[in-house]
């Protein structure tokens, strides 16, 4: 029998027609759909009782109150209480599943290595804790531990001694402070925004500048000069030369914020010059007040003092423990490295991922991440009264993570104790202030609440609010006059408000796809500056400043002021820098 080409086509056509008339292909499609729905790794919606839990967000110092919608024990959505919650807080329940998260670490090995290194410290060598967010109960535990060790130091970024009261201000002059971009508590700031006129003195047209009533495009790095000029420590001509504004503009602003007009002047850190200007304007005790924190047990007062990194002698730290578990102010690694002792110093980092200081550490120990961690949040910069609020966990932390305060306390031999509960007991015993509970929207004097009920309410998302310190009991810092500014050499590097870290992977669309926000590894500069540096959009380059070198990706934006580089990491900020193509 001879098979022809016609026979082959007839057989193929008949087979195809027969297959369509049988249930086989349709059954295969159905089975594939069912298999794909039950494939390993397919997320399944939680099932169970739907209820609301209350806590506080610990992703930034604002510490916003959070209402979590939970199915069973699983949070499925987060929303702010009494107003705002930033996008990073709204997606905070996704952080435990971040692909870059650390889940295991050599905790026992690190503990033994630290104990051995402390025992071998030579003359003049120290063991130190670097706390990126001071003021927490965990910070007090670290300070107490360092006081027990004979050569212990507690190092933390310098904190402003004052807080601001936006509710009393009628005019706010912001010296490059990102007031409307997570500088304070979002709900509080936007609740009172209509009550004051906002003047933004900023080298770039930031989001806050775009939303301000008046934008003053000052010269980069001249914020303190403007404050001193308005305080009368510099003449209008000197101030104009240093800031790039006209004398008329400076005099007009001075008249707007004149004495007794309930004006408030702010900058990113509330520097001494800015505080002195507010005092001169009559704002002391009104728009600015002494910054206070919640009471602590009397025995904690024997803790080690807070030391600024700049005051630490070079080559003096043999063992450095860095608490990176709570997002805070980052310090340049070059500034930290020169403080480490020569000859293989031991650096241990407590962090949720290895992308931060973990790149320079011998041990990186994984920590709980929000909303697993149990922590408290110090009062925000716009909180005139002391407060105590707990970031109560919504999920159980996985096995293998370590809490920095427990590690450091055991290292110093401190007795195991629930420090948060001890502090809550001290607050309750004081009998002052008010307990605010969000579930029932009530405010009750603390003296009317039983101790156990007070502790339960705090863990259910409540907040204790105390009374502001009397201004007469606090001495306001005094600003000093600046020397004449020298022209900056190279590009001026400015830091934009950084995103909280960690951030949900959902925000990679903002960073990697739309570039609406600067990613930590990106910088933006004017197209003319990019051409002058020999780079273009998308190029890889090295940003060099006195604070160090970073590999970055270039973005060009004509809205960026010529001569300025925008960076999303504060440690990149410097008076000057240069971009080198790689």
Residue 487: pLDDT band with limits 50, 70, 90: very low
Domain assignment of residue 79, yes or no:
no
Question: Do 315 and 227 have their domain in common?
Answer: no
Structure tokens given for 439: 């579930």
For all residues of the chain together, what is the average pLDDT?
88
Instruction: Give me the CATH number covering residue 575.
Output: 2.40.40.20
Q: 300 and 353: one domain?
A: yes
Reported as a pLDDT band with limits 50, 70 and 90, residue 481 is: very low
Residue 369 belongs to some domain of the structure: yes
Whether residue 328 is found in the same domain as residue 436: yes
- pLDDT, residue 476, reads 57
Per-residue confidence at 572, pLDDT binned at 50, 70, 90? Answer: confident
Residues 417 and 508 in one domain: no
Does residue 560 register a pLDDT over 80? yes
Q: Between these two residues, 252 and 330, which has the higher pLDDT value?
A: 252
pLDDT of residue 8: 64
- Name the burial class of residue 502, with classes exposed (0-12), middle (13-18) and buried (19+) by CB atoms within 10 angstroms of its CB: buried
- pLDDT at residue 296 above 90? yes
In angstroms, the CA 574 to CA 547 distance is: 7
Average pLDDT over residues 467-472: 76
pLDDT, residue 14, reads 67
How many angstroms separate the Cα of 12 from the Cα of each of 7, 25, 221, 425?
9, 16, 78, 84
What is the Cα gyration radius of the chain?
28
Which carries the bigger pLDDT value, residue 488 or residue 562? 562
Structure tokens at 262: 């309930």
pLDDT, tens only, 490-524 = 788 888 877 667 788 777 766 666 777 787 788 99
Spacing of C-alpha 109 from chain mean position: 30
Under 8 Å between Cβ of 284 and 476:
yes
Residues 439-457 pLDDT 10s:
888 999 999 999 999 999 9
C-alpha distance from residue 485 to each of 106, 220, 544 (Å): 50, 11, 22
pLDDT tens-digit readout, 176-197: 999 998 888 988 898 999 999 9
Predicted confidence band at 18 (pLDDT cuts at 50, 70, 90)? low
Domain end call among 290, 324, 357: 290
According to the model, what pLDDT value does residue 510 have?
65
Domain membership of residue 379 (yes or no) is: yes
Q: How far is CA 145 from CA 5, 92, 408, in A?
A: 89, 31, 7
Asked whether residue 540 falls in the same domain as residue 554, the answer is yes
| pLDDT value at residue 78 | 94
CA 380 to CA 185: how far, in whole Å?
A: 7
Instruction: Name the phi and psi angles at 226, rounded to 5.
Output: -65, -40
* Cis status, amide bond into 570, omega within 30 of 0: no
13 pLDDT more than 80: no
Within-domain flag for 93: no
Residues 323 and 402 in one domain: yes
Give the pLDDT score at 24: 66
> By the 8 A CB rule, do 405 and 326 touch?
no
Q: Is residue 94 part of a domain?
A: no
Half-sphere exposure of 125 (CA within 13 A, CB side): 17
C-alpha distance from residue 560 to each of 205, 492, 527, 540 (Å):
8, 12, 9, 19
Q: 3-state DSSP call for residue 199?
A: strand
Among 137, 135, 196, which Cα is nearest to 164's? 196
Print the SS3 string covering 467-507.
CCCCHHHCCCCCCCCCCCCCCCCCEEEEECCCCCCCCCHHH
- Residue 189 tokens read as 């700031």
- The DSSP H or E segment spanning 276 is helix 272-280
Domain containing residue 247: 162-290
Whether the link from the prior residue into 502 is cis, omega within 30° of 0, is yes
Q: How many angstroms separate the CA atoms of 329 and 312, rounded?
A: 18
As a whole number of angstroms, the distance between CA 274 and CA 403 comes to 37
Given a cut of 80, whether residue 570 has pLDDT beyond it is no
In a domain, 109, yes or no: no
What is the count of structural domains for the chain?
4
Is the same domain home to 339 and 447? yes
239 vs 222: CA distance, rounded Å: 9
CATH number for 248? 3.40.228.10
Residues 431 and 323 in one domain: yes
Q: Is it the case that residue 302 has pLDDT exceeding 60?
A: yes
Whether 66 is in a domain gets the answer no
Residue with tokens 């400043």: 545
Can you give the pLDDT at residue 415? Answer: 85
Sorting pLDDT into bands at 50, 70 and 90, what band is 489?
A: low
Under the banding of pLDDT at 50, 70 and 90, the label for residue 10 is low
Domain end point (choices 290, 319, 334): 290
* pLDDT (tens digit per residue) in 194-233: 999 999 999 988 889 999 999 999 998 889 899 999 999 8
Helix (H, G, I), strand (E, B) or coil at 153: strand
> What's residue 484's pLDDT?
44
Quick check: 338 pLDDT over 50? yes
Q: How many residues are present in the chain?
A: 582
* CB neighbour list of residue 72: distance below 8 Å, 6 or more residues apart: 46, 47, 48, 49
Same domain, 194 and 256: yes
The predicted pLDDT at position 483 comes to 47
Q: For the segment 38-87, what is each residue's pLDDT rounded down to a tens digit?
A: 666 566 677 889 999 999 999 988 999 999 999 988 999 999 987 778 88
Rounded Cα gap, residues 134 and 549, in angstroms: 27
Express each pLDDT in 353-408 by its tens digit.
988 899 999 999 999 999 999 999 999 999 999 999 999 999 999 999 999 999 99
What is residue 38's predicted lDDT score, i.e. its pLDDT? Answer: 66
Task: Check whether residue 405 and residue 367 sit in a common domain.
Answer: yes
As to burial, measured by CB atoms within 10 angstroms (0-12 exposed, 13-18 middle, 19+ buried), residue 30 is: exposed
Structure tokens at 312: 């630490």
- Residue 333's CATH number: 3.40.50
The answer on pLDDT for 477 being more than 90 is: no
Distance, in Å, from the CA atom of 224 to the CA atom of 413, rounded to the nearest integer, reads 45
First vs last C-alpha separation in the chain: 72
pLDDT in tens, 73-84: 899 999 998 777
Kindly state the DSSP code that residue 124 receives in the 8-state scheme.
T
Give CA–CA dist 251/240, Å, rounded.
10
Q: Do 224 and 304 fall into the same domain?
A: no
Q: Per-residue pLDDT tens for 106-157?
A: 999 999 999 999 999 989 899 999 999 999 999 999 999 999 998 999 999 9
Q: Are 440 and 552 within one domain?
A: no
Strands 346-351 and 214-216: unpaired
In a domain, 262, yes or no: yes
């Amino acid at each position: 029998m001879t098979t022809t080409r016609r026979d082959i086509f007839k057989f193929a056509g008949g087979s195809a027609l027969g297959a369509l008339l049988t249930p086989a292909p349709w059954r295969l499609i159905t089975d594939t759909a069912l298999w794909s729905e039950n494939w390993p790794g397919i997320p399944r919606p939680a099932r169970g009782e739907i209820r609301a839990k209350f806590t506080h967000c610990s992703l930034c110092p604002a510490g916003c109150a959070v209402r979590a919608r939970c199915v069973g024990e699983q949070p499925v959505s987060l929303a702010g209480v009494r107003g705002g919650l930033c996008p990073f807080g709204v997606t905070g329940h996704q952080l435990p599943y971040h692909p870059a998260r650390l889940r295991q670490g050599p905790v026992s090995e690190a503990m033994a290595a630290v104990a051995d290194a402390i025992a071998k410290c030579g003359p003049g060598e120290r063991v130190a804790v670097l706390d990126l967010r001071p003021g927490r109960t965990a910070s007090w535990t670290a300070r107490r531990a360092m006081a027990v060790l004979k050569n212990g130091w507690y190092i933390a970024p310098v904190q402003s001694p004052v807080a601001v009261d936006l509710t009393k201000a009628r005019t706010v002059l912001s010296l490059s402070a990102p007031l409307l971009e997570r500088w304070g508590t979002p709900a509080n700031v936007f609740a009172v925004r209509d009550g004051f006129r906002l003047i933004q003195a900023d080298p770039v047209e930031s989001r806050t500048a775009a939303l301000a009533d008046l934008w003053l495009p000052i010269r980069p790095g001249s914020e303190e000069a403007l404050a001193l000029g308005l305080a009368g420590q510099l003449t209008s001509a000197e101030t104009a030369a240093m800031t790039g504004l006209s004398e008329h503009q400076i005099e007009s602003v001075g008249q707007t914020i004149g004495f007794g007009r309930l004006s408030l002047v702010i900058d990113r850190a509330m520097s001494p010059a800015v505080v002195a200007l507010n005092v001169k304007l009559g704002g002391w005790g009104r728009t600015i007040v002494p910054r206070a924190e919640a009471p602590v047990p009397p025995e904690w007062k024997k803790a080690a003092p807070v030391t600024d990194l700049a005051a630490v002698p070079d080559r003096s730290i043999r063992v450095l423990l860095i608490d990176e578990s709570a997002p805070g102010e980052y310090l340049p690694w070059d500034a930290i490295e020169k403080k480490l002792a020569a000859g293989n110093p031991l650096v241990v980092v407590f962090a949720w991922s290895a992308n931060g200081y973990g790149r320079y550490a011998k041990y990186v120990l994984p920590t709980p991440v929000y909303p697993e961690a149990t922590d408290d949040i110090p009062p925000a910069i716009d909180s005139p009264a002391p407060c105590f609020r707990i970031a109560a966990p919504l999920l159980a932390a996985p096995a293998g993570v370590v809490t920095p305060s427990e590690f450091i306390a055991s290292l110093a031999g401190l007795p195991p104790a629930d420090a948060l509960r001890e502090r809550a007991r001290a607050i309750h015993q004081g009998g002052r202030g008010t307990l605010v509970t969000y579930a029932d929207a009530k405010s009750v004097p603390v003296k009317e609440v039983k101790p156990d009920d007070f502790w339960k309410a705090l863990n259910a998302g409540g907040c204790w609010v105390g009374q502001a310190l009397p201004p007469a009991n606090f001495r306001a810092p005094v600003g000093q006059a600046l020397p004449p500014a020298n022209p900056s050499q190279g590009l001026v590097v400015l830091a934009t408000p950084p995103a909280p870290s960690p951030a949900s992977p959902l925000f990679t669309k903002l960073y990697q796809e739309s570039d609406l926000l600067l990613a930590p590894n990106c910088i933006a500069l004017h197209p003319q500056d990019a051409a002058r540096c020999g780079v273009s959009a998308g190029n890889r380059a090295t940003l060099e400043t006195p604070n160090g070198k970073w590999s970055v990706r270039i973005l060009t934006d004509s809205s960026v002021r010529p001569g300025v580089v925008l960076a999303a990491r504060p440690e990149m900020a410097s008076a000057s820098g240069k971009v080198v193509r790689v």
